[in-house]
Amino acid sequence: MTTVRELRPADARAFLEVHHAAVRGLAAKDYPQAVIDDWAPLPVTDKAVERFLLNPDKEIRLVAEHDGKIVGIGALVVGKAELRACYVTPGASRKGVGSALVREIERLAQERGLGFLELDSSVTAEPFYLAHGYEVRERGEHILRSGQAMACVKMVKSLQPRAQHL
Ligand SMILES: CC(C)(COP(=O)(O)OP(=O)(O)OC[C@H]1O[C@@H](n2cnc3c(N)ncnc32)[C@H](O)[C@@H]1OP(=O)(O)O)[C@@H](O)C(=O)NCCC(=O)NCCS
């Protein structure tokens, strides 16, 4: 069974490792090696973990566990109405882990009063987000922290107003 919960600081390295495994194992077929190397730089250093924990954009970070192991990660930036991340390890893909993360991100967004979510999807993840009702706004480029540009698909989804409790 898959459970989704908020990240604890002790999970930071596992979060980055899942991100890197997904990029290198699932997205690498769709991007040049230079993009993959900047998107998921190896090794995961202590410095990278420390920087990740600073969290300047106040991401709400989630992990998905299967049999006690972290196999998926997600992130929401409420201030930008942005679904920031959803990544699943190759070994756990196509088992509903990514969907569980997206459902929880959307629930948290609705709980905070957001009426829509935007995201920059990888080319790889476009069918996944389409399956979740996201629509393509435009195709463009996402600029990685290193300055490297990567092809992306800008998508958006309206969220239903949260049910009122009378
Ligand atoms: C995109 C990603 C998060 C999907 O996670 P997942 O756990 O495999 O997704 P799910 O099992 O919940 O898939 C739900 C549905 O999405 C669609 N889908 C998911 N992956 C797909 C793919 N590679 N091709 C086509 N449709 C896909 C399918 O409709 C699927 O339902 P189905 O398996 O019953 O056919 C995962 O493949 C990943 O981490 N990719 C690489 C990293 C990446 O690019 N992440 C997004 C960054 S913006």
User: Would you state the pLDDT for residue 166?
Assistant: 52
pLDDT tens digits along 47-90: 999 999 999 999 999 999 999 999 999 999 999 999 999 999 99
80 occurs within a structural domain: yes
90 occurs within a structural domain: yes
Per-residue HEC secondary structure of 100-149 comes to HHHHHHHHHHHHCCCCEEEEEEECCCHHHHHHCCCEEEEEEEEECCCCCE
DSSP conformation class of 94: T
Assigned token pair, 55: 């969290």
Instruction: Report the domain count for the chain.
Output: 1
Number of H helices, E strands in the chain: 5, 7
Q: Is the model's pTM score more than 0.85? A: yes
Please say whether the beta carbons of 59 and 76 come within 8 A. Answer: yes
Residue 164 has pLDDT above 60, yes or no: no
Helix (H) or strand (E) segment spanning residue 143: strand 135-143
- Domain range for 106: 2-113
**Ligand 1 proximal residues by C-beta, below 6 Å:** 22-23, 26-27, 86-88, 93-99, 121-122, 124-125, 127-128, 131
Q: Residue 7's CB: how many other CB atoms inside 10 A? A: 21
150 occurs within a structural domain: no
Distance 165 CA to ligand 1 centre (A): 33
In CATH, what number is assigned to the domain containing residue 11? Answer: 3.40.630.30
Average pLDDT value for residue range 9-21: 98
146 occurs within a structural domain: no
Residue 121 has pLDDT above 60, yes or no: yes
28 occurs within a structural domain: yes
